[in-house]
Amino acid sequence: MGYIQIQFRRDTSANWNSKNVLLASGEMGIELDTQQFKIGDGHTRWVSLPYGGLRGAQGPAGLMPPPPSAIGQVLTSGPTLSTISWQSPIISLPNVAIIKAAKSAVNFNLQGAIVNIPESFGNQLSYTPINGTTDASSFSINLNSKYNMLNIPIIIGTIAYWDKISNKLVYLQIKFGNSTTTNSIRATINPSTALSSATYGSPLVLKLDGISANSFSGVDNISVHPLNYAIVISLNLIN
């Protein structure tokens, strides 16, 4: 039994556009290089014809989230539009603890600080208030349990404060051990348990004190959201 082969008019997209032919009503023209097609209406030439396909009525415009409130924010996902929001990302580095504290009434408000302590570093940040206020002059971190008096942590620390008078960020190195000099932070590591063969003092407690607002000339908050902090403490465990 014979058969009939049906072939539609066909050409490349460039040729269709250059020739700008007039298709008869219901006549189909196919672009071989794009796999798209158009159906003629008998009076509209090729360039002005829309591409073919089954189409329904145009739907409503999609909802858009509000613009970010600060440079560098990222759009967080959620199951509904109400749970989608712009957030300032917290960059987490392995074995690096970062504490950003605002200058409060007397000292630095470490209790309300922005804290990022990865699990590989430690946990349980605690504070020592001064003058009965929420300001804190020191803080402690329980280090990861893998550190003990046999496996002593090696820590590099820096501190930066915002000098409002000079309009600059001043970096200082944290001094480990006893220090009574101005503009310095004292860091000590203490065992929290007995020095037995079972724990060897683990978990070790890292304590930083001497964090006094009076020690840093001109220190004040950066009063730009979300940069409302006065001091940044960075601690890096390198082993």
pLDDT at 82: 63
Which positions of the chain have pLDDT values less than 50? none
Taking Cα atoms as reference points, which of 185, 175, 182, 178 lies closest to residue 231? 185
Which tens digits make up the pLDDT trace of 128-169?
776 666 677 788 889 988 898 889 888 888 888 888 888 888
pLDDT tens per residue, range 33-45: 988 999 889 999 9
Predicted confidence at residue 163, as pLDDT, reads 87
The pLDDT assigned to 44 comes to 92
Would you state the pLDDT for residue 17?
A: 93
pTM of the shown model:
0.58
- Residue ranges of domains in the chain: 9-48, 96-237
For residue 112, the model assigns a pLDDT of 81
**C-beta separation of 137 from 211 below 8 A:** yes
